[in-house]
Structure 1
């Protein structure tokens, strides 16, 4: 397994093999909490307008996301684990529009053979998926802020997964302490806070969930994220191909 690390939207657009799109603060984390709250699938979109158009066409859909870290007008939820974790999303389709993560998924779909969405909260499940599948090339795409500026939490998450796959020890407590004192954390704390402070810990809750978020095409032609894992279909290596399928 050749593990590459790419950065930002430009890196996601050039991803090779299996792409792991990483957005810790907060898109991939929020997507995982939405699935844990019962969402059946998540439809990532590139713009707020696309998300609202899907909502208009399908009033039963739930829309969550952000621009400038804040919930856009007309959305049901922001891009916030705190907002979404106690919602009842049982069986719902959730439309997700963010500045970096959801755009990264769509970009990676153009070049990669397989696309996963990851944060610290589903890191080990994602690692297990990769070990079971053993793709020749894995691209870890750290999305950064708005897909344009590097963010330490995304780079550290990519390195954490790379270390796990290569048998190198990690220290999550050190990562939490370091990230707490970076510009990325300013949105959570003090006078500069614009999002729930509790999101910080929720996004850094290592292995809170045991499922993978995998992108594919829906029957309607949408890109959609579906959860694979215990309770969502067990990850099982195919005896002949080494592939992974939900059973």
Structure 2
């Protein structure tokens, strides 16, 4: 099994084989919490206008996401796990658009199969990859708004690669590196409205969920399917 770590949109476009699009803060953590709280289906879209269009066509859908970390106008929720935890989402269909993660899905056109990646379901991802046993695995770190690599995404890719290759991981050390680095914004008082400290802890709740989120297509539209591993 050849496991490669790639970065940003260029990495998504190059990704081949079984591809994991990684966005720890916060898209694919948020998606896991949404499914964990009862959401039935998620449509991940790269384009904000497409999100509004889907909502217009399906008023019962909920809009979740961000631009510049903040909730776009007319959206039901920001890209925040802590917001979703207190909401009744049972049976809901969610349209999800973000600056990083959903862009990766839209651009991974050469991948054989696409999963989303976060620490909250890391072991499920590892188990799924082992079960599929593909020749090629691409771990794509989407970084901050697809502009530059981030600690949390790169370290999750390292974590998954190490596990697949039988090498040790020090998750506690990873958390500290993230806390002092790209995760520091979650502790800034002026950012609590849209990047609360609670989201840092929720996004780094290792192996909280026992399912992967797999990208499927229906009538040419991507959606996330929950697959228990």
Same topology, TM > 0.5: yes
SS at match of 1:91: coil
CA contact (8 A) 2:178 2:184 kept: no
Equivalent-residue separation in structure 1 for 2:148 and 2:11 (angstroms): 12
Equivalent-residue separation in structure 1 for 2:119 and 2:57 (angstroms): 34
SS at match of 1:162: helix
Match runs of 1:96-175 below 5 Å: 96-108=96-108, 110-175=109-174
SS at match of 1:90: coil
Residues 190-214 of structure 1, C-alpha deviations (whole Å, 9 max, x = no match): 2452411100000000001000000
Counterpart residue number, 1:47? 47
Equivalent-residue separation in structure 1 for 2:148 and 2:217 (angstroms): 29
TM-score (norm 2): 0.96
Residues 161-183 of structure 1, C-alpha deviations (whole Å, 9 max, x = no match): 0011111111111111111111x
Equivalent of residue 183 in structure 2, options 182, 185, 191: 185
Q: Which has the higher contact order (CA 8 A, sep 6+)?
A: 2
SS at match of 1:225: strand
Counterpart residue number, 1:90? 90
Counterpart residue number, 1:56? 56
Equivalent-residue separation in structure 1 for 2:146 and 2:40 (angstroms): 26
What is the CA RMSD across the aligned residues, in angstroms?
1.0
Counterpart residue number, 1:242? none
Equivalent-residue separation in structure 1 for 2:128 and 2:88 (angstroms): 28
Counterpart residue number, 1:239? none
Equivalent-residue separation in structure 2 for 1:25 and 1:190 (angstroms): 15
Residues 54-104 of structure 1, C-alpha deviations (whole Å, 9 max, x = no match): 001001111100000000011000000000122211121110000000010
Q: CA deviation at 1:187?
A: 2.6
SS at match of 2:158: helix
Counterpart residue number, 1:221? 220
Counterpart residue number, 1:203? 203
SS at match of 1:132: helix
SS at match of 1:63: strand
Equivalent-residue separation in structure 2 for 1:44 and 1:68 (angstroms): 17
SS at match of 2:206: coil
TM-score (norm 1): 0.89
Equivalent-residue separation in structure 2 for 1:85 and 1:227 (angstroms): 18
CA contact (8 A) 2:151 2:177 kept: no
After the TM superposition, which parts of structure 1 deviate over 4 Å for at least 4 consecutive aligned residues? none
CA contact (8 A) 1:186 1:192 kept: no
Structure 2: runs of 5 or more not aligned: none
CA contact (8 A) 2:34 2:89 kept: yes
Equivalent-residue separation in structure 2 for 1:187 and 1:75 (angstroms): 23
